[in-house]
Amino acid sequence: MHLDPLSSDHVVFPGLGIDLDIDPTAFSIFGFEIKWYGICIAIGLFLAMTYCFKRTKSFGLDGDSLSEAVFFGLMGAIIGARAYYVIFHIDSYTDIKQILAIRDGGLAIYGGIIGALILGCIVCKVKKIHILSAVDLASMGFFIGQACGRWGNFFNQECFGTNTSLPWGMSSGRVQNYLSYNKDALAQMGIMVDPYQTVHPCFLYESIWCVAGFLILHFFYKHRKFDGELICIYCAWYGTGRAVIEGLRTDSLYIGSFRASQLLAIITAAAAVVVIVIGHIRAAKNGVHLFCDSEEGKAVIAASEQRDKEEKERSENRKKKALDSDQHIIDDTDDEEDSDE
């Protein structure tokens, strides 16, 4: 389907009858623009953290102890995601201000995962938190965050692919402008694309793939055979999907003639499958030994439950004191009224 030129914020899915005008800026506060991109990422982080902190005891972890690792993991994710993207687009940045402008997009998921794991694991090591249990739990959060975060690419009109005639093919003014400007460069790499035909919505494919991955881990985590299995399943599942989806994209990051993220996806997926097979062979031979079932893990869970119980009791005591105080005020008021009479 050939399309007429579209305005920069115009997005269409002709086969689905969807026609939208999308401003990447959600709203402004005192002149400061809040981008949909950032909102999508924030929602993903909130949902991921909410889910994971409810599952800490299933992994032999204490939520309070884990909080610091999560905080530094988030810092590592932001730094890693931006650094990964900037490294492959270094010629596009002329000053540090542009590099720090992450609200405008330009975050690479693989860089974010690497950064989060590095800083998060360092903190776990320092705080004596079981690292494999922590990264298993984090893998579930990764899928949630990525599923939501990819919609930030939709609002920025990025993360799209080659031409397609499928019913869900999309186009937009920014997509047309990008493909028109880079048409010759893409052709030199063997990617033939018509800027005025619909393209694959790769952001949507990856979001759906991550939702499916999360559901797999959600229903499987109680049946894991070894600590570290979930992060391996994450790498295998996400890597397989990313390798295929990345092959469709027209805005990939390259190392020479290779798509950087596709190459990394293939390597990590293959390595993860090998580790899973070895882990299952060892579990079949030696039995299943999870940290959450160990004496140390049970002690962590018991201490966490005791602290939760004490906090609940303190909260109930505060509420009781507040109610008693309110009742005294009411009684004193009634006494004063009786005295006046």
Q: Is the dihedral of CA 304, 306, 308, 310 positive or negative?
A: negative
pLDDT-flagged residues of the chain (< 70) = 1, 103-105, 324, 326-341
Any domain includes 174: no
Q: How does DSSP classify residue 248? A: T
Q: What is the pLDDT of residue 96?
A: 81
Any domain includes 184: no
Residues 216 and 320 in one domain: no
Residues 225 and 280 in one domain: yes
Residues 219 and 261 in one domain: yes
Give the integer Cα–Cα distance in Å for 288 and 234: 20
Residues 134 and 262 in one domain: yes
Any domain includes 113: yes
Residues 337 and 204 in one domain: no
Q: What is the pLDDT of residue 252?
A: 86
Q: Which strand (E) or helix (H) includes residue 148?
A: helix 131-156
Q: Which of 262, 212, 215, 226 is nearest to 108 (CA)?
A: 262
Any domain includes 169: no
0.95 surpassed by pTM: no
Q: What is the pLDDT of residue 45?
A: 93
Q: What is the pLDDT of residue 1?
A: 67
Q: What is the pLDDT of residue 173?
A: 94
* Contacts of residue 167, Cβ cutoff 8 Å, sequence gap at least 6: 15, 16
Residues 114 and 229 in one domain: yes
Residues 208 and 313 in one domain: no
Any domain includes 16: no
Residues 207 and 333 in one domain: no
Residues 281 and 302 in one domain: no
Q: Which of 151, 169, 155, 149 is nearest to 22 (CA)?
A: 155
Residues 209 and 82 in one domain: yes
Residues 227 and 326 in one domain: no
Residues 109 and 152 in one domain: yes
Q: Which domain does 278 fall in, by range?
A: 31-161+200-288
Q: How does DSSP classify residue 197? A: B
Q: What is the pLDDT of residue 175?
A: 94
Any domain includes 20: no
Q: Half-sphere exposure of residue 259, counting CA atoms within 13 Å on the CB side? A: 21
Any domain includes 1: no
Q: How many domains does the chain have?
A: 2
